[in-house]
Amino acid sequence: MRAQTVISPVEATDRFPAQAANDSAPTDIPALIDFIVERYRRTHLRELPDAIRLARQVEQLHAADPDCPLGLADHLGALAVELEAHQWREETTLSPMLRIGTTNCLAFVARRMMDDHVQLEMQVMALQGFTRRFRPSFEAPFCWQALSVLCRKLESDLREHAQLEHEIL
Ligand SMILES: [Fe+2]
């Protein structure tokens, strides 16, 4: 039985609501773009390889466990490829257009970014399925708990990133 005084890493992340980062986002568009690049895009690229490594470790060490998230590493790998392509499109098209304030083709480019976000949201929803909604059993080893924390943070960051960009557009 789970002791009430023990806090899992997943519960710990619940204490930091998703909107906390958004509350600190600048309102000026160039500054907001810089904020999104540093707080979200760079963070995604830095943390996804760690999540993939942990997922491979969990899959190798705990394959016999019926709750083992088999296939999660490959899913995260595919998500990383899709996210990197999305961020490249944002940084080479959308962000420069917003910085100079042009409206030429903006609707077309913005539509593409929104479509990307819909695809990424579907990937995040699939991520929840692999990880029992980011809540491993209390007995799960540390690497598994850490993997769930990273995946939960990835979900939260991806949604905040999309929400902030939708507010700009
Ligand atoms: Fe985006």
Position 4 in a domain: no
In a domain, residue 16? The reply is no
Distance 86 CA to ligand 1 centre (A): 6
pLDDT band for position 1 (50/70/90)?
very low
pLDDT digits over 123-148, tens only? 998 998 888 888 888 888 899 999 99
Q: Distance, CA 69 to ligand 1 centroid (Å)? A: 27
pTM (2 d.p.) = 0.81
Domain count for the chain: 1
**Does 123 fall in a domain?**
yes
Domain that holds residue 41: 28-168
Compute the distance from residue 128 Cα to the ligand 1 centre, in Å: 20
Q: Is residue 43 part of a domain?
A: yes
Neighbouring C-beta atoms of residue 84, cutoff 10 Å: 14
In a domain, 13, yes or no: no
Average pLDDT of the segment spanning 68-96: 94
Q: How confident is the model at residue 9 (pLDDT cuts 50, 70, 90)?
A: very low
What sections of 62-141 are H helices per DSSP? 72-89, 95-100, 106-130
22 occurs within a structural domain: no
Q: Report the C-alpha gap between 14 and 23 in whole angstroms.
A: 17
